[in-house]
Structure 1
């Protein structure tokens, strides 16, 4: 008993120590750097940093993020409604929802480049339509990039919640004489207002903290993320200036955490939600069919250049098909090393992050006795996603520059594990909380150690969740740029940071080739995880008794006795 408890407590304290070293300490370093008193005191230094340039950058980030989040939330709601309350056909919906999620497989800095090559002065669609409809640099390019970036996760969040709505209430509301709008508000919008608020906040936070899109199509419009990048990576770095800017980026994080904690108490639940056969309405169905086609068509039209430009000799001057760009790419050792570094970092991050998040979830969800250390782990775990990646990158740059972690692949793995920790942790926690708490006690009576119980009982019953955790970490590691852009070196360069470097030299063919290979890697990994999950699901369905699979090791031991 004492050994088991000791192993659990050691695990809890190890997880807490990890957060202390790689979250609390770096953020504390940013705070100390910002509070450094020079030339007149802290107050005067802050006033110098919060000058007109900062105000314009902050307001631009705030304004564009609010507009983009509002547009994405509204569009995501209608798309989710069309997916759940129309008769568009499962095949049509499956294809279009898959297209909606396609941008999640690419980094945001690539969005900017494809927008330029799609709608710029020499863009694909500009040349085909013989007209430049708008200037892609600046306001329109930023908004389009942010909407493409935020729409997929917002749609997924709203759509998943809408699946649990009971549409019988909508029918009852209409029978009671309510208008279509009143029924929509009372039976769909009202139960989902918390989810809609969360989706809006997520879209706002993603846009506010994104660096890739403003750096690609921002033009002369300053943003808080580009201002922070210039503060640390500009011609004359100013760490104190950058640290103060980084602290101001935490303001939306604090507000979003407070709002989300308030909304957490406003949850609407249905005991037995059931779906009725939807009434045929050709006007409604065609309206939503057109909405899906326009949205999917726009996304495909934007990213089509990714499949066209790399296989042309020299866009837009020589449009002869060629494989020379592909051959040149394979002969460039630096680009191949970047590809290998990204793949290795993503695999290591997915492996380490999945193990770490899974054991953290075990500590906070499988213990009958509540320990303060586990409560602290749970509190810290839920806020990691609310810390901007650029702030983490700056913090790691400040505190680990003179250590052995500096300019290594491991520091990229650690910062990515911390940055994306909250979602895999919540996945594992929800899966583990649904399991019977008596399984560990039964195994303990049979003489099993705690780690053996985890390996033989908990893990087999959460394989699908573990695959989801691994894939979440892998995909985000492949496309992240905000944190790693400060921490890469010539030997540890990853694709997203390399894209920023190639932009500086105008090597757009290499940019598209790298983006294309990144997309292929993510598509292959998506296919692999899909096949694994389907196999695991089939195995689970073929299990004769629901709980028999988890208790098989114990039953076999009882039979042996």
Structure 2
């Protein structure tokens, strides 16, 4: 019990230090000038008085609206095809639906440049031009980036619909269109609402696509980057960050109100009937959507092995030497190191937090505070969290009064791998935590009482009961943290140092230099590592379940 209490209060303290304090300091800093003097609403007034704010805000809303519609519609088509048709190669199609998760968000923009840019493959060889630089390019790139996240949501929801409803409709002679409109869509109502809210929030705060294909088309995310990186104006940048939080926080509370779709204990899984015309039509639509995604990745892979596209098309490995990057391959090793420890530490921390939340009897209010600190990062864009970390951890001393300063003991972390690992864990912790708590909630409550009656210590219960039962979800969470840390840009781009630069951050800088082929080569490495880790994880997980079945 003493150990549990200690861990619980340590968790509260660390949550306050690494989540509440940086965001609180960012909020306060938005009311200060760059020298730390209080200026009230002046930063907001200065920014809002400029026509650029209204233009950027309108651009952001315009792009986000179109991205939301396109990503949700395309994800729904693919999810419906894979769950309600008999198309051939479902496993391959499912993998292709998720492949965009394995690369940083700005890669879609680079791929589009290679396809439809001024010297793109389609532009050069087919004379096919698109107005790529501006809203059109951002909408395309963001739609591809957001698509897999919405697909997972809808694909899961379609598997929860009770087939008995469809059987009754068939007996009553209701047409397929009416069944779709009156059974399928109403059953997915809450999930579709969640999908629209999530897609809009992700697009509103996305940084990668506008940086690469935005051109002179400004959005709020690029305004923040311009003020903080370009002008070192953290005060106004912090003010814009607060504006960027509004839709994300709104989305968080909207999602809390939306009821989660539940599966009835009597529900039966959907049984797919034969319909060649349905399969052909939906299979073709899905193939077109996924073909476009694959085409973008193929363009990046192709150009990364070409000497000097489009002038010299000979094969080469030169771009994998990263001559434009001072640190060469070190940036890639840095990413592997940070991603591995983000995955390992994140998975174990989540297990501990889920255990403290579900299997202990602490004060309900303190438990609520802990859960709130764990779940609120879901409502905070990575860009905002990164700025908060940059402001708080980059201050050696805090000015309290004219002659009074307080030393920041956490200043030593700034620019190091440890802070980037912590930032990634805080940024991505909500989903793994929800998954782990769901597992704990399904475990028989009597196990704890049985263990206490038999005199088994809490540590032994954790080692021999709770952890083995949660091991599959701990593995899932490790992969989730690892993959996201490999492709994360916005959360860590403000807190690295020259000696701790990561591969995903280097992609932004290579794009700024115009070294797109080296950026493509780096993307290929990230993709290969993530695919390799995913395959190994799948093999380990399958082996684990085989061993469990053998024991039974």
Distance 1:535 1:330, change over 3 A: farther
Query: What SS does the aligned partner of 1:430 have?
Result: helix
Measure the CA separation in 2 of the matches of 1:533 and 1:368: 32
Distance 1:523 1:269, change over 3 A: closer
Moved more, 68-77 or 404-413: 68-77
Distance 1:276 1:269, change over 3 A: closer
Residue 331 of structure 1 and its aligned partner are, at CA, apart by 11
In 1, are the aligned partners of 2:31 and 2:42 still within 8 Å (CA)?
no
Provide the residue aligned with 2:501 in structure 1.
493
Measure the CA separation in 2 of the matches of 1:75 and 1:331: 37
2:265 is aligned, of 257, 260, 271, to 271
After superposition, the C-alpha distances for 1:197-254 in whole angstroms (9 at most, x for unaligned) are 11121111211111111101101100111101111111x3211101110111110122
Match status 1:450 vs 2:458:
yes
Query: What SS does the aligned partner of 1:313 have?
Result: strand
**Structure 1 unaligned regions, length at least 5:** 545-561
Measure the CA separation in 2 of the matches of 1:131 and 1:332: 33
Moved more, 202-211 or 491-500: 202-211
Alignment of 1:198-237 (within 5 A): 198-234=194-230, 236-237=231-232
Alignment of 1:180-329 (within 5 A): 180-234=176-230, 236-264=231-259, 267=261, 269-275=263-269, 277-326=271-320, 328-329=321-322
In 1, are the aligned partners of 2:338 and 2:485 still within 8 Å (CA)?
yes
1:342 is aligned, of 314, 335, 353, to 335
Measure the CA separation in 1 of the matches of 2:362 and 2:420: 36
Residue 369 of structure 1 and its aligned partner are, at CA, apart by 6.2
In 2, are the aligned partners of 1:121 and 1:132 still within 8 Å (CA)?
no
Query: What SS does the aligned partner of 2:285 have?
Result: helix
In 1, are the aligned partners of 2:353 and 2:433 still within 8 Å (CA)?
yes
Provide the residue aligned with 2:407 in structure 1.
none
Alignment of 1:116-127 (within 5 A): 116-127=113-124
Measure the CA separation in 2 of the matches of 1:446 and 1:113: 61
Residue 539 of structure 1 and its aligned partner are, at CA, apart by 1.6
In 2, are the aligned partners of 1:310 and 1:509 still within 8 Å (CA)?
yes
After superposition, the C-alpha distances for 1:512-553 in whole angstroms (9 at most, x for unaligned) are 121111111111111111111111111222232xxxxxxxxx
Provide the residue aligned with 1:400 in structure 2.
393
In 2, are the aligned partners of 1:119 and 1:126 still within 8 Å (CA)?
yes
Residue 177 of structure 1 and its aligned partner are, at CA, apart by 4.7
Moved more, 166-175 or 36-45: 36-45
After superposition, the C-alpha distances for 1:261-308 in whole angstroms (9 at most, x for unaligned) are 2213x6454332213643322111100110121112111111102221
Provide the residue aligned with 1:56 in structure 2.
55
Distance 1:149 1:331, change over 3 A: closer
Measure the CA separation in 2 of the matches of 1:179 and 1:86: 17
1:43 is aligned, of 24, 41, 44, to 41
Residue 452 of structure 1 and its aligned partner are, at CA, apart by 2.1
Provide the residue aligned with 1:415 in structure 2.
423
Provide the residue aligned with 1:559 in structure 2.
none
**Structure 2 unaligned regions, length at least 5:** 397-410
Distance 1:369 1:178, change over 3 A: farther
Measure the CA separation in 2 of the matches of 1:346 and 1:425: 18
Provide the residue aligned with 1:170 in structure 2.
166
Measure the CA separation in 2 of the matches of 1:452 and 1:515: 44
Alignment of 1:93-132 (within 5 A): 93-128=90-125, 130-132=126-128
Residue 258 of structure 1 and its aligned partner are, at CA, apart by 2.2
Alignment length, in residue pairs? Answer: 534
Residue 39 of structure 1 and its aligned partner are, at CA, apart by 9.8
Measure the CA separation in 2 of the matches of 1:503 and 1:147: 20
In 2, are the aligned partners of 1:170 and 1:184 still within 8 Å (CA)?
no
Residue 361 of structure 1 and its aligned partner are, at CA, apart by 0.7
1:522 is aligned, of 521, 526, 530, to 530
Moved more, 303-312 or 473-482: 303-312
Residue 507 of structure 1 and its aligned partner are, at CA, apart by 1.7
Alignment of 1:18-33 (within 5 A): 18-33=14-29
Match status 1:372 vs 2:370:
no
Query: What SS does the aligned partner of 1:367 have?
Result: coil
Measure the CA separation in 2 of the matches of 1:41 and 1:162: 52
Residue 73 of structure 1 and its aligned partner are, at CA, apart by 1.0
Provide the residue aligned with 1:67 in structure 2.
66
Distance 1:27 1:310, change over 3 A: same
1:474 is aligned, of 460, 478, 482, to 482
Alignment of 1:83-98 (within 5 A): 83-89=82-88, 92-98=89-95
Using structure 2 for the length normalisation, give the TM-score.
0.93
Moved more, 40-49 or 502-511: 40-49
Measure the CA separation in 2 of the matches of 1:220 and 1:445: 69
Query: What SS does the aligned partner of 2:240 have?
Result: helix
In 2, are the aligned partners of 1:167 and 1:275 still within 8 Å (CA)?
yes
After superposition, the C-alpha distances for 1:160-203 in whole angstroms (9 at most, x for unaligned) are 11111122312322443544333212221111111111112111
Measure the CA separation in 1 of the matches of 2:154 and 2:79: 6
Residue 76 of structure 1 and its aligned partner are, at CA, apart by 1.4
In 1, are the aligned partners of 2:32 and 2:38 still within 8 Å (CA)?
no
Using structure 1 for the length normalisation, give the TM-score.
0.91
